[in-house]
Amino acid sequence: MPPTLFGVAVIVFVLLRVVPGDPIAMMIPPGASEADIVRLRALYGLDQPILHQFVTWFGQVASGDFGRSISIRQGVLDLLLTRLPATIELSLLAALIAVAIGVLAALAGILSRGRRAEWAVDGTVGVLLAIPDFLWALILLLLFGVLIPWLPISGRIDPQVEIGLRSNFYLIESLLTGRFDIAFALLHHMILPALALALPFAAIIARLLKASLAEAEDQDYAQIARARGYSRPAILLHEVFPNALIPTVALGGVQVTLLLGGTVLVERIFSYEGIGNMAIDAVINRDFPLIQGLVLTFAVMFIALNLAVDLIVALLDPRLRHG
């Protein structure tokens, strides 16, 4: 993990300073002189050579100090720790919805195998996959926010609600502490962005799982169970499904990173207060310390997710578990 993160840190640091546009250029007002620009560059340490800047920054990161955001004027780590829980909760909810929809669609598809209903399921899954998450976000926003205005379309919670929670994991804490009014208000706001993120991912799960189910269903053990008189749905669920799950988790798990990447635009569209939304502002403002912190955070999450997927596959697959 450390070499990967170091590589990411080097790439993002150098790229930010090579591409045109820096925070000082965004900051200088009419009337600023060359001397004012020099003064501001020095104030933010941007007058130093890139290598010197990198060594200083990386040294700070190694000691847990991600620097100070130029635009927000707060510690980057504090900002990340404040906003990251919102993105994690949204991603978890989206993953849950995706798994639910994906598994149901795969089961519906396999149960209707060889019939017209299978085309309908496959067609629906194809549509879910073909439309990217940000487009789903806009569709859902217009559908449930405007056409049938049943759900809120902005924010993480209604501004009138007094939250009063200790952590920034609002949903998890409110559920654990029995504050279901808050949990309900949060879910109410999270459903649309979570659904937008979930639908393409659900389609991936459905496709992978259905293919695995079809392959596993043709195996001898499934045919023997059928010959013994067990119903097909029961065989699918109890015999075929656990075996089909392993390749689905192995391949689909990696795709969770796409879901995480999708939070950037989806959070923006729904004005959701996660790190994805913050990332866009950071880029617009050329807030170098914040962008660097965000990229490193995403990198850590991607690596952790891949690791988690490997562990889950190992747990599910006895061949891997027992060497």
Contact set for another protein, span 223-252 (CB under 8 A): 230-231, 233-235, 237-238
Give the residue with the Cβ less far from another protein, 24 or 305: 24
Any bridge partners for residue 75, and if so which?
68
Q: Rule CB under 8 A: is residue 153 a binding residue for another protein?
A: yes
Tokens of 308: 């988690």
Site membership for another protein, residue 221 (CB under 8 A) = no
Among 16, 84, 195, 204, binds another protein (CB under 8 A): 195
Q: How far apart are CA 231 and CA 215, in angstroms?
A: 18
How many other C-beta atoms can be found within 10 angstroms of the C-beta atom of residue 216? 22
CB 13, min distance to another protein, A: 17
Identified binder of another protein from the candidate list 138, 211, 300, 303, rule CB under 8 A: 138
Interacting residues with another protein between 280 and 309 (CB under 8 A): 280-281, 285-287
Does position 114 interact with another protein (CB under 8 A)? The reply is no
Binding mask of the shown chain, residues 6 to 45, with x at each position contacting another protein by CB under 8 A:
--------------xxxx-xxxxxxxxxx-xx-xx--x--
CA torsion sign for 186, 179, 93, 305 is positive
- The DSSP element (H or E) to which 130 belongs, if any, is helix 116-130
Nearest to 130 by CA among 195, 200, 197, 208: 200
Distance of CA 230 to the CA centre of its chain: 40
Q: How far is the CB of 141 from another protein (least distance, A)?
A: 5
Place of tokens 């279901």: 180
Closest CA to 244 of 306, 317, 185, 194: 317
> Which of 1, 182, 185, 197 lies closest to 96 in space, CA to CA?
197
Are the beta carbons of 205 and 98 closer than 8 angstroms? yes
Print the binding letters for residues 154-193 with another protein: x by CB under 8 A, - otherwise: xxxxxxx-x---------------------xx-xx--xx-
Least CB distance to another protein at residue 198 (A): 11
Pick the binder of another protein from 150, 176, 218, 224 (CB under 8 A): 150
Q: Least distance from C-beta 213 to another protein, angstroms?
A: 13
Q: Please, how many CA atoms are within 13 Å of residue 40, restricted to the half-sphere of its CB?
A: 15
- Report in angstroms how near the CB of residue 195 gets to another protein at its nearest: 7
Question: Least distance from C-beta 303 to another protein, angstroms?
Answer: 25
Q: Could you tell me how many residues of this chain bind another protein (CB under 8 A)?
A: 85
For another protein, the closer of residues 105 and 256 by Cβ is 105
- Of the candidates 7, 123, 149, 242, which one interacts with another protein according to CB under 8 A? 149
Task: Look up residue 113 and give its DSSP letter.
Answer: T
Among 134, 129, 98, CA closest to 249: 98
Q: Of 249, 269, 295, 296, which lies in the binding site for another protein, with binding defined by CB under 8 A?
A: 269
Q: Which residues contact 47 (CB under 8 A, 6 or more apart)?
A: 38, 41
What is the per-residue binding string for another protein in 76-105, x denoting contact by CB under 8 A?
Answer: ---x--xx----------------xx--xx
Which member of 91, 208, 260, 268 binds another protein (CB under 8 A)?
268
Spatial neighbors of 234 by CB under 8 A, at least 6 apart, are none
